[in-house]
Amino acid sequence: MDDLVESILDYIRSDYTDYAIMINGEWGSGKTYFWNNQIKKKIDSMQLNGKKFTTIYMSLYGISNLEEISKKIFMETTQLMDRDLRKYMKDSGQTSIPEYAKTGIDMANFFGAAADANKIDYEEFFSTDDKVLCFDDLERANVDVIDILGYINNFVEHDHIKTIIICNEKELSTKIKSSNLEMKTFIATYLLDKQGDLNNETENGRPIVEKIQDKIETVFDKAIDYERIKEKLIGETFEYAPKFDYIINGILMRYENNRELIRFLRENTGLIMNTFNKSGTKNLRILKHALNDFSKIFDEVNRLYPNTNNKIMKTMLIFTIAVSFEIKAGKITKEKFKNIKDNEEYKSILVSSRVLMDNRQFYIKEFDGNYYYNFKADYRFFKFIEYYIRTRIFDMKIFKADMEKANALPETSKMPAYKQILVEEYWKVQDDKFLDVIDETLEEVKDGELELIDIVKLFEYFLYFSKSGLIDYDIKTLKSVFINGLNLSSLHSTYCDNIEEELGKVVIRDEGEYSYEEMQEILDRFNELNTQLLKREYKEKAEDIFKCIPMKMEQFYERFDKECNNIPILKYYDAYQIFQRISCASNEDIVAIKEKIVKRAKENIEVALEEKDNLKKLKEVIDDYIEDKEITIKLVLLKEFAKELGEVLEQTQEA
């Protein structure tokens, strides 16, 4: 992907061009996101021969005439020249103008409310060598694509404006061939009739349909016109093929606030990726919608059926993604699933399609064989999910019927022993099964397979069981087992930031002589390990973020702003390595990094206090480097960097 970005930037850097470039990719694959988050930001930050580039983006979606494109360009350029508007956007951190705001500004100008603010600077208005035009959704315009490309050619050939066109050429080709098909068929039939070629016996008895199709292509083949103007206008076509595993991980980040859900999704990233690949599309938009639907399903299941087996949750995840793609990607009509009432009927259809070779049910067989290949599950059709995706209605009656049946299956009746204590009421465990549950849970604790916080909660239960005489273990032995389990668990556990809330979930019917004081050793060890996990998490985050300098600066800026406001990230990365990376960055990036670090430190003194020692080391490293060096621009910028770090350190002294 970095090679693609660099190739596009090489086009922008070229002194003279009389051609546009095209970015081609499938619908929903993230082309517009790629433009906004990788290409646009880099172009807007570029300076070449003293000039700074300005990007002007236009979606052609729904455009019905060329005049609308002209209006869009005018609105974009006049707004970019409005100094007050630019100042506001810079101060507020806005990178683009919302569509509704553009409408408001346009109407304000129309009624004269902003006449003074929008006086046109003709020198800037006539400048073309610092503009980059981007036309998106070419295939979705309601104007003949040949006319649009001819219109764009004026900017490229005559004004030599750098121009990028984003589209889905596959859909564009289909659109060109299918436009006005009824009229084309009528004229082709008329011409064939006049030529006496409608008779099936002519031309070796070729079918009439083929003759009509050939005549349409001969008379109306706009594909040839498209290729001709494309050859003239487009100098290079880049195929956008995103790294889906990286993007899917980014999609999952939106669920970080739901700890249980994100843990489940992270554990099953491979399952998500596998199902996505089996869909045969590259439509990330549908995947986003499917995961959003699953988040509601997951929450409802956890709320009303918390004992649901993990295998069922995985099956529901596969089914939600699979049905979403089958319906929303236009692969089938909604009716294919509509008449299947439950899992039993689904399975009977599979049997009939295999045994009786019933071709009417062939699709269901293909669906099952594709998405559930190598995934064995007895219950794999959830009517409530299919109904929810098809109608957007979450029917609680169907949901409960599905869940009752799914949870009643023999393979789903057994859950891990520790969950029978933590999730269920322990007193519901049968007496003759209770000691087995205890022994299995202790083995799980010994192996360190559980999360740290779950081991602490389990110890609270075991402490009560021991005092109540339900188990024959003394407290000292239990403590030893649980502390060892905590130590092993810390190797893979995640940091817990809501300890009180988690411990509050422990339900003990009759506390009796039970005392929290006897938990203290376990709690102390947990807190030590949990703090270590937080440090490890911060250290990993720091390494991931700072390694973006100097090659992936946009990613660094984005992650630093989003993830580091309240985290002392500088505390967990070596000051000398920070300097090495900063010193390799461009002068412009050095200034930007300094501003971000200093601004954040001044606005959040508590974080700065935690980072104080490393900030001091960073200043010392910079001071040592610039000492006795020949003055250059970079050296002056580093000197300013060290000076402002000193001001931050003084501020921490006063705090």
3-class DSSP string for 174-194:
HHHHHCCHHHHHHHHHHHHHH
**Bridge pairing between strands 234-239 and 51-52:** unpaired
| CA–CA distance, 57 with 99 (Å, rounded to integer) | 12
Please say whether the beta carbons of 238 and 7 come within 8 A: yes
* Residue 51 lies inside a defined structural domain of this protein: yes
Report how far residue 448's alpha carbon sits from residue 275's, in angstroms, rounded to the nearest whole number. 31
In the structure encoding, which two tokens stand for residue 596, read together?
């971000």
Mean pLDDT of 446-467: 90
User: Quick one: CA dihedral 479, 483, 484, 486, positive or negative?
Assistant: positive
Q: How much is the mean pLDDT over the chain?
A: 82
Q: Are residues 376 and 439 in the same domain?
A: no
Distance CA 101, CA 12 (A): 29
Q: Are residues 512 and 473 in the same domain?
A: yes
Residue 27 within a domain = yes
The CATH code of the domain that includes 166 is 3.40.50
Residue 546 lies in a domain: no
Q: How far is CA 254 from CA 40, 187, 288, 320, 576, in A?
A: 23, 53, 10, 18, 33
* Residue 96 pLDDT class (50, 70, 90 cuts): low
- pLDDT score of 318: 96
Q: What strands lie across the sheet with 162-167, from one edge to the other?
A: 54-59, 131-136, 162-167, 20-24, 234-239
pLDDT interval class at 471 (50, 70, 90): very high
Looking at residue 348, its pLDDT comes to 77
The verdict on 555 and 599 lying in the same domain is: yes
Mean pLDDT in residue range 364-392: 89
Residue 388: count other Cβ atoms within 10 Å of its Cβ. Answer: 20
Residue 392 falls inside a structural domain: yes
Q: Do 134 and 58 form a contact (C-beta atoms < 8 A)?
A: yes
283 three-class SS = coil
Torsion of CA 395, 401, 403, 404, to 10 degrees: 150
The DSSP-derived string for 619-651 is HHHHHHHHTTPPP-HHHHHHHHHHHHHHHHHHH
pLDDT of 68 reads 81
Give CA–CA dist 426/461, Å, rounded. Answer: 9
Residue type, 489: S
Neighbours of 561 (CB within 10 A): 12
Q: Which amino acid does the sequence have at 449?
A: E
Give the CA-trace dihedral at 520, 521, 524, 527, to 10 degrees.
-100
Residue 184 lies in a domain: no
* Contact present, 436 and 430 (Cβ < 8 Å): no
Number of domains in the chain: 4
Is the pLDDT reported for residue 640 higher than 60? yes
Query: Is there a single domain that holds both residue 421 and residue 368?
Result: no
Give pLDDT, residue 65. 86
Amino acid at 229: I
Domain that holds residue 513: 417-534
Name which of 350-364, 459-473, 540-554, 599-613 the model is least confident about: 350-364
Q: Which two tokens stand for residue 628?
A: 């006795």
Q: Are residues 408 and 478 in the same domain?
A: no
- HEC profile of 383-412: HHHHHHHHHCCCCHHHHHHHHHHHHHCHHH
Paired with 239 in beta bridges are: 24
Q: HSE-up of 329 (CA within 13 Å, CB side)?
A: 23
More confident: 237 or 411: 237
Contact 258, 300 (CB under 8 A): no
Is the distance from CB of 538 to CB of 571 less than 8 angstroms?
A: yes
Q: Are 86 and 80 in contact (CB under 8 A)?
A: yes
Q: Of 175, 204, 231, which residue sits at a domain end?
A: 175
The predicted-structure confidence for 239-258, as pLDDT tens digits, reads as follows: 887 766 667 777 888 888 89
Q: How confident is the model at residue 92 (pLDDT cuts 50, 70, 90)?
A: low
What do you get for the CA distance between the two ends of the chain, in Å?
Answer: 45
Strands 47-48 and 51-52 turn out to be antiparallel
Q: Is the pLDDT of residue 91 over 90?
A: no
CA distance 563 to 30: 23
SS3 labels along 430-447: CHHHHHHHHHHHHHHHHC
In 3D space, the residue among 349, 345, 341 whose CA is nearest the CA of residue 384 turns out to be 341
Token couple for 486: 């905590």
> Predicted confidence band at 158 (pLDDT cuts at 50, 70, 90)?
confident
pLDDT single digits (tens) 314-335? 999 999 999 999 888 766 555 7
Residues 492 and 627 occupy one common structural domain? no
Q: Which H or E element spans position 23?
A: strand 20-24
Length of the chain: 655
What pLDDT is stored for residue 530 in this prediction?
Answer: 94
Residue where a domain stops, chosen among 355, 378, 412: 412
Cβ burial of 34 (10 Å; 0-12, 13-18, 19+) is: buried
Q: Which of 97, 6, 7, 24 is nearest to 58 (CA)?
A: 97
Distance (Å, whole) CA 548 – CA 514: 52
When pLDDT is averaged across residues 101-117 and rounded to a whole number, the result is 50
Query: What are the residues facing 118 on neighbouring strands?
Result: none
Q: Is the pLDDT of residue 534 over 90?
A: yes
Point out the domain boundary residue: 356, 378, 412: 412
Predicted pLDDT of residue 369: 87
Q: Which of 134-138, 354-358, 573-577 has the lowest mean pLDDT?
A: 354-358
Alpha-helical runs (H) found in 111-221: 122-126, 145-153, 169-178, 181-194, 208-220
- Identify whether residues 333 and 372 lie together within a single domain: yes
d(CA 93, CA 102): 17
**Cα 464 from chain centre:** 45
SS3 290: helix
Residues 29, 164 within the same domain: yes
Q: Is the pLDDT of residue 100 over 50?
A: no
Residue 89 lies in a domain: yes
Q: What's the pLDDT score for residue 157?
A: 84
Could you tell me how far CA 583 lies from the centroid of its own chain? 32
Mean pLDDT (whole number) for 120-127: 52
In a domain, 206, yes or no: no
Do 406 and 453 belong together in one domain? no
Q: Does residue 6 form part of some domain? A: yes
Is the domain of 14 the same as that of 141? yes
Tell me the per-residue pLDDT of 414-442, one tens digit each, with 9 for 90 and over: 567 887 788 666 777 888 889 999 999 99
Highest mean pLDDT among 124-128, 182-186, 237-241, 543-547: 543-547
* One domain for residues 342 and 273: yes
Cis bond before residue 550 (omega within 30° of 0): yes
Same domain, 121 and 100: yes
Q: Which two tokens stand for residue 583?
A: 């010193």
